[in-house]
Amino acid sequence: MRSWMKTLLVAKAALAVTLAAMPARAGAIENMERERAVLILAYLDPELQPGEREGRLETAKRRLVDLERMTLRDEGITGRNTPVVRRAFANYDLTFLVHAAIEKNLAVADQWMDQLGLTTQSLMSARHGRRW
């Protein structure tokens, strides 16, 4: 085979590799959701002492910031119409909890409860009873 043809084949192969490169990293959203669950558990865990809770929250928050960014920057999930991706982008304020909270000057816990509709007023007016 002539040398220029070999060069051409190599160039074609390189182009094909480029075109097929960077497959979507699987599980970015799942990892973020897992970390968010850890953060919320740290808020809700009655067993934790305030100092311990504070430390756990801070660590989880920093990790969650990174994971939220990874998800938002992931071009591989653009237009990927799966239930997980659809649900994640349906509500920015709940999915990207830390970024949304800081954007609105709220504590992360307040932002989460706000998104779930748990206001002081609604909690105060709640009462025990059987749901029919």
Partner 1 sequence: MFRLGLSSVVALRLLAAGAMVLSDDPAVFAAENPTWQPAPMERLVKLPASYLKKSLDQDFAQSPLGQAIRDSENQIGLKAQTMADLQNAVGSAAGDVGMELRHQFLAEKKAYVALMSGKNALRKKHLETKAKLFERMLERMGQDKEGASAGRQELIVQQQQARTRFAASLSKVDLQVFATSAAPESRYAAEYGKNMTAIEQLAQAISAHPMSDSATRDGQPMSRQDAVRAMLGEAQADLALIQQEESMLGYMAKLVSLDAMALADEAMDVARAESDVPDAVNPAGAVSFFVSR
Binding residue count for partner 1, defined by CB under 8 A? 30
Selected from 29, 96, 111, 112, the binder of partner 1 by CB under 8 A is 96
Selected from 1, 2, 4, 19, the binder of partner 1 by CB under 8 A is 19
Is 106 a binding residue for partner 1 by CB under 8 A? The answer is: no
75 DSSP 8-state letter: G
Tally of residues, the chain: 132
How far, in Å, CA of 129 to CA of 132, rounded? 9
How far, in Å, CA of 42 to CA of 56, rounded? 7
How far, in Å, CA of 74 to CA of 71, rounded? 5
Shortest Å distance, C-beta 111 to partner 1: 12
Cβ atoms of 101 and 108 within 8 Å: the answer is: yes
Shortest Å distance, C-beta 41 to partner 1: 20
- Residue whose CB is less far from partner 1, 8 or 26: 8
How far, in Å, CA of 121 to CA of 126, rounded? 9
Q: Which two tokens stand for residue 74?
A: 């992931």
Shortest Å distance, C-beta 107 to partner 1: 11
Selected from 38, 65, 94, 106, the binder of partner 1 by CB under 8 A is 65
Point out which residues bind partner 1 (CB under 8 A): 8, 15, 19, 58, 61-63, 65-66, 68-70, 72-73, 77-81, 85-86, 89-90, 92, 96, 98-100, 102-103
